[in-house]
């Protein structure tokens, strides 16, 4: 992979708007467009199966329309995962939650913060999801002092408060 590709990925979520703009522009060849799509996957952690494709049009549609359903999709995936914690579908339901990618971050943080009295496995699962979506950033913070499990949700929320502007997707554009 080209070093420029890694530079784009390293810019993170704040650069997504420019990647989508580049996809719309029609100025890039197929190889460059595929590199942009791969960068989008790496930054957003949205699964190809969730997205339903692997091409620029799919990403532009997600950017314009798909993100607007993030809250409802998170609530459904979260409810399905919670109800399957003791069942055989637990891992599949958790993967469905992870497949939503970074667009689910604010909703997961909201659950962690609002439901501090929920079971420890739910708290840990949500913290691990946030960690996955952010490329290991939360566990890096937790492992600095080897915090016990019961403190993970608080550390995760503090991490989010300090860095949410780096991770929040911009609001949807409204057409006048």
More confident residue, 4 or 134: 134
| pLDDT tens digits, one per residue of 62-90 | 999 999 999 999 999 999 999 998 899 99
| pLDDT tens digits, one per residue of 102-158 | 999 999 999 999 876 678 889 999 999 999 999 999 999 888 888 888 889 999 999
For the chain, the farthest-separated pair of C-alpha atoms sits apart, in whole angstroms, at 52
Task: Give the residue among 110, 109, 83 at the shortest CA–CA distance from 94.
Answer: 83
Q: How far apart are CA 18 and CA 158, in angstroms?
A: 29
Which pTM was predicted? 0.90
Give the Cβ contact number of residue 51 at 10 Å: 20
Contact 14, 170 (CB under 8 A): no
| pLDDT tens digits, one per residue of 14-59 | 889 999 999 999 888 888 888 889 999 999 999 988 998 888 999 9
């Amino acid at each position: 992979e080209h070093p420029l590709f890694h530079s784009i990925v390293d810019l993170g979520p704040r650069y997504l708007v420019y990647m989508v703009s580049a996809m719309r522009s029609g100025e890039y060849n197929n190889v460059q467009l595929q590199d942009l799509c791969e960068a989008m996957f790496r930054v957003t952690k949205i699964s190809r199966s969730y997205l339903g494709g692997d091409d620029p049009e799919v990403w532009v549609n997600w950017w314009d329309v798909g993100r607007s359903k993030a809250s409802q999709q998170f609530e459904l995936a979260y409810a399905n995962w919670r109800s399957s914690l003791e069942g055989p579908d637990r891992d599949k339901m958790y993967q469905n939650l992870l497949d939503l990618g970074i667009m689910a971050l604010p909703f997961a943080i909201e659950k962690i913060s609002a439901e501090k009295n929920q079971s420890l496995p739910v708290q840990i699962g949500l913290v691990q999801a946030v960690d996955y979506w952010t490329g290991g950033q939360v566990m890096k913070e937790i492992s600095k002092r080897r915090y016990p499990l019961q403190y993970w949700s608080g550390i995760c929320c503090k991490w989010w408060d300090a860095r949410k502007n780096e991770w929040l997707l911009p609001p949807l554009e409204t057409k006048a």
